[in-house]
Structure 1
Amino acid sequence: MSKLADMAMVIQELRDAAAAIDDAANWLSQQFSSAVPTEPEPKPAPTLEQVRAVLAEKSRAGHTAAIRELLQKYGAAKLSLVDPQYYEALLRDAEGLADAT
């Protein structure tokens, strides 16, 4: 065989090896992709309307005084004055009212 033929054969062997490595990497990726934990989608922040609905339900259930205290805890006399960054915490506190009764 000539040197040119040898070189062509080596190049083809390298390409075949690269394809085999790529196939192996793809297979491994598929096998273990379910084992890699994925980040859960962040849940959207509650809206004023959602918080208002929950607080209204709690108020009808007899927790009006407790709701007023919660609003004061978050620095407001009424819900529309509560900073939206506190909506989630306010909802958690309000949901805890049912457990207390």
Structure 2
Amino acid sequence: MSKIKLILDVVSDMRSLADSIQAVAEVMAGNEPVETKEPTTTVKEPKPKKKEITLEEVRAKLAEKSQAGLTAEVREIIKKYGGSKLSEVDSKHYANMLKDVEVLGNE
């Protein structure tokens, strides 16, 4: 082959390479949709946390019912959940205590 023919082949290959590089650049720029592989792991969404009920909230509700003349019933609820006074009751019972207190006086 002649030197000219070899040089023309190199020029042709360089043009082809330039076209390929341009196509890659366009894809990277977002001009063409790119097929992406979906991740195989699933992302767990955090569960919504329940609002923590505080001792002060329970105390306020119990005081309200006690002032309404339901002191004996309030004491029974506290005893039901394992305490002789509110501060002795485990905080895990606060939600149930509030439910019980809500029905006091509505019966």
TM-score range for the pair, normalised by the shorter chain length: 0.5 to 0.7
CA 1:17–1:60: 2 relative to 1, 3 Å:
same
Q: Of 2, 14, 30, which residue of structure 2 is paired with 1:4? A: 14
Q: TM-score, normalised by structure 2?
A: 0.62
Aligned to 2:5: none
List alignment gaps of at least 5 residues for structure 1. 23-37
1:73 maps onto 2:74 in alignment: no
Paired residues, number: 85
Secondary structure of 2:56 counterpart: helix
Q: Give 3-state SS (helix, strand or coil) of 2:104's partner.
A: helix
Structure with greater contact order relative to length (CA < 8 Å, sep ≥ 6): 1
Bigger Cα displacement from structure 2, 13-22 vs 44-53: 13-22
Q: Report the RMSD for the aligned CA atoms in angstroms.
A: 2.5
TM value normalised by structure 1: 0.65
Q: Which among 49, 70, 82 is matched to residue 42 of structure 1?
A: 49
Residue matched to 2:94 = 87
Counterpart amino acid of residue 11 in structure 1: I
Letter in 1 for 2:70: H
Q: Runs of at least 4 residues of structure 1 off by over 4 A?
A: 38-41
Structure with greater proportional helix content: 1
| Equivalent position amino acid for 1:61 in 2 | A
Task: Give 5+ residue unaligned stretches, structure 2.
Answer: 1-10, 35-44
Q: Identity rate of aligned residues, in percent?
A: 41
- 1:62: which partner in 2? 69
Shift of 1:10: 1.8
> Greater Rg, structure 1 or structure 2?
2
